[in-house]
Chains A and B, each alone.
Chain A
Amino acid sequence: MKISREDVLRVAQLAHLDLAPEEVETYRGQLDEILAYVGKLQEIDVSNVEPMTQMQPRSADGAATADAKAEPELRDDVVVPCNVADAVLAEAPDAAKPFFRVPKVIER
């Protein structure tokens, strides 16, 4: 058993999930089984391997391939009109234009 109840509760707290008591044991067992399976990644020697941190196509030696630009094309940094505030706030569960309203976070 790699994953304890405390691990599940710690992760649920980090992920802002208010798990019901019966869920804790279910997830503990399932995460334990999945992580045991994932453990097979430890079999591979990765000491000389770079992590794949971006998705631009690369050839076998790691060089960017000729048929795609290595760097994404970026827009000019200019202000463009964006009058979406009303449409966006209309989707909010609780809004008071121009704000989203949430439970009080500052005590006075």
Chain B
Amino acid sequence: MSAAPTWTIASVRDALASKKTSARELTKDFYAQIERRNPELNAFLALCPERAYAQADRVDAALGKGHPLPPLAGVPVAIKDVISTQGVRTTCGSKILETYTPPYDATAIERLEKTGAVILGKTNCDEFAMGSSNENSAYGPVRNPAALDRVPGGSSGGAAAVVAAGLAVVSLGTDTGGSIRQPGAYCGVPAMMPTYGRVSRYGLIAFASSLDRIGPFATNIADTATVLSIIAGRDPNDSTSAAVAVPDYLGEIEKPIAGLRIGVPEDYFGAGLDPEVKAKVLAGIALLEKLGCKRVPLKMPHTDYAIATYYIVATAEASSNLARYDGVRYGVRVPGSTLMDMYRKTRERGFGPEVKRRIMLGTYALSSGYYDAYYLRAQKVRSLIARDFADAFEKVDAILTPTAPTPAFKLGEKTADPLAMYLADIYTVTGSLAGVPGISVPCGKTAAGLPIGMQIFASHFAEGRILQLARAFEKAGGFSI
């Protein structure tokens, strides 16, 4: 079992300011912990000590000169292995990128380091972020620090596990259909998917471009708010990043929540929801009511179509985005007698089974004769799902649901049945399709001690409100309800 994480952004700051430790010492301590724990968790795929110590020394030097500390000074962070890091191997959990070292940093990475963060390494994930259990990684599954025989969730399983195990203070993951929120729920840490366009994706290796988002894992809401405020905002290198002002999320998390209308859609509490999860999430909602929120029953009638919609839209986009892996410009090449033969052999051997399955599903949905019946129809249903959210936000300020229908399942339990695995995302894909922000916050545990997550959605760019609700919930003891 894991020791509870002890460091937060604030405690790192205090320890540095009061000279209780140095950034270098702290970095060393974290690497020592990683060396001890990573063999059983398999959560890190690569470590970058040279880069980390160079950054730690910069922080210590600035501190020595009496310079003011930037917000993440000396904070050890981990990065999901789909986000580009210059000079640090980035595999996307895939064999096809086994040899790939990006020649540039993602904007989110640049922003973290500019504010003092110490990047420790890259975390394991499902191959190209496709999966809900981390078992689709070419480098072996991550184990859940709360129960080593269980999955950490996916696709950002490593990023969730390292924060839950105290091997990084915060981490960045990516969410396409639930890949931040669901592992956050399974590992018992706050996990936020910002609004589509809130955070630059320059340097994020694409899976499904109309869905992919970068967001933070942390152990508390203040740290979630701090990281989001640093990585959010317009980036000239990403035309899909929104020119919407970034509020002072941390400064506003203590704003009162009394009087907020919280919507509870009945469609998220029906068949398939584990009774223990249901009971805890309903208790969590009751706690928010006690804090002065007004509960509003909702109907979101297209919820039941979200998984079907998602697995057409996301796979169609993936089949196009992953066409770039052909053994020509980067990654692994398997020689062939002709150019076409080389493409086909490289892709056949480089991609794992789930990635191939999704490429084929997406190719089928886009192919001549099937486009209207599958892709175009899914895009239309996506409009209806987005409308469900828009209609709901006419009546409520936030929507409360379970993050996932069950707690973390056992390793190997669903690997033979892709469709059963897809259904683990049933409550998260809706918000992905609609483009709205959402968070998963810890909401107690099952009798067996497995973490449970409660999800909070708000309207586009209302991350501030989500964080205020999450903070009030945290403060009132909701995380261990």
Query: Residues of A with Cβ closer than 8 Å to B?
Result: 7-8, 10-12, 14-20, 23, 27, 30-31, 33-35, 37-42, 44, 46, 49-53, 55-60, 65, 67-69, 72-75, 84, 87-88, 90-94, 100, 102-105
Asked if B356 and A17 make an inter-chain contact with CB atoms under 8 angstroms apart, the answer reads yes
Give every chain B residue within 8 A of A19 (Cβ-Cβ): 348, 356
Among B326, B357, B459, contact of A30 (Cβ-Cβ < 8 Å): B357
CB distance from B388 to the nearest CB of A (A): 10
- Give the size category of B's interface with A: 35 or more
A35 to B374 alpha-carbon distance, docked (Å): 9
A102 to B195 alpha-carbon distance, docked (Å): 41
Give every chain A residue within 8 A of B387 (Cβ-Cβ): 60
Asked if B363 and A74 make an inter-chain contact with CB atoms under 8 angstroms apart, the answer reads no
Asked if A8 and B383 make an inter-chain contact with CB atoms under 8 angstroms apart, the answer reads no
Asked if A18 and B347 make an inter-chain contact with CB atoms under 8 angstroms apart, the answer reads yes
Among A8, A39, A58, contact of B386 (Cβ-Cβ < 8 Å): A58
Q: A46-B384, A68-B461 are in contact. Are A37 and B360 (CB under 8 A)?
A: no
Asked if A44 and B361 make an inter-chain contact with CB atoms under 8 angstroms apart, the answer reads no
A94 to B342 alpha-carbon distance, docked (Å): 13
Question: What 7 A-B pairs have minimum CB-CB distances, sorted nearest first?
Answer: A51-B379, A93-B333, A87-B103, A18-B344, A57-B460, A46-B380, A60-B390
A31 to B364 alpha-carbon distance, docked (Å): 10
CB distance from A98 to the nearest CB of B (A): 13
Chain A residues touching B, majority SS: loop
Give every chain B residue within 8 A of A67 (Cβ-Cβ): 244, 460-461
B323, B328, B376, most chain A CB atoms within 10 A: B328
Interface-side segment among B67-75, B169-177, B308-316: B308-316
A17 to B361 alpha-carbon distance, docked (Å): 13
CB distance from A16 to the nearest CB of B (A): 5
Give every chain A residue within 8 A of B361 (Cβ-Cβ): 31, 34-35
Mind listing 26 A-B residue pairs with CB under 8 Å?
A7-B364, A10-B367, A14-B363, A15-B363, A16-B323, A17-B359, A17-B360, A18-B345, A18-B347, A27-B360, A41-B309, A42-B373, A44-B381, A46-B377, A49-B383, A50-B380, A51-B380, A56-B197, A57-B460, A72-B239, A73-B234, A84-B103, A88-B329, A93-B330, A93-B332, A103-B335
When C-beta atoms are compared, the residue in chain B nearest to A16 turns out to be B343
